[in-house]
Amino acid sequence: MSRGGGRGHTRVKTSRGRTPQSNRWLERQLNDPYVKKAKAEGYRSRAAYKIIELDEKFGFLKGSKRVLDLGLAPGGWTQVVRRRLPNAAVVGIDLLPVDPIDGAIILQMDFMDDAAPERLIEELGGAPDLIVSDMAANTVGHPQTDALRTMGLVEAALEFAIQVLEPGGAFVSKVFAGGADSQLVAEMKRNFTTVKHAKPPSSRKGSVEWFVVAQGFKGRSEPEPE
């Protein structure tokens, strides 16, 4: 590696074992202030700052007692929740293995598994008042397909949230550029007092990700008597 530019920019030399794309990724990581900050502050990924910045803007963590983290790997969001809410019950789920996080229960399973919703609530010990989701589908390299697959996960997470959240609770989820589609936003507005889109400063400018923050869950309406 070499340094250039006079401002401490680390440049990665071409390696026979790396593709140009890998070189660009490595160079970006080495020069990313959030990567450096995460390492210094003990977070597993720069993604920790996304939830920190979203919470600074919307304040959804305050007062939460039971929190679910959907798609938690490698664990940065759960680390933030545990640091800010040391007395809250926290359960996370991901397909990938995740190293233990003190005070959190981690399930390695597919959120789309029929058994997942019941297992999450069972491990949490009751209804959540906050559900956060950084879930994204594995990419296939076709932007429209990737977006549709991820939005399918968002829809499933929202449906789950509407079924299990405590009244007054919040739902925070990654979406793609342009935010959630109009039908999804309409569903959120029917069920939450406020629905906002945001792109935190730590979300890379070139990234297509945005986040939706729905607060003030109105509660499940009782079915009409027959």
Across-strand partners of 131? 68, 171
C-alpha R_g of the chain: 19
Whole-number mean pLDDT of the chain?
85
Alpha carbon distance 152, 167 (integer Å): 24
Q: Which residues pair with 221 in a beta bridge?
A: none
Long-range CB contacts for residues 193-198, cutoff 8 Å, separation at least 24: 193/217, 193/218, 196/58, 198/54, 198/57, 198/58
Compute the CA torsion angle 120, 124, 103, 170 (nearest 10 deg): 90
DSSP state of 152: H
Instruction: List the Cα angle 126/130/131 in 5-degree steps.
Output: 95
Least reliable range by pLDDT among 55-64, 121-130, 143-152, 213-222: 143-152
145-183: pLDDT as tens digits? 666 777 889 999 999 999 999 999 999 999 876 556 788
pLDDT score, position 149: 73
Q: Which residues are catalytic?
A: 174
* 106 close to 72: Cβ distance less than 8 angstroms: yes
Task: List the single range of 50-54, 70-74, 155-159, 202-206 with lowest mean pLDDT.
Answer: 202-206
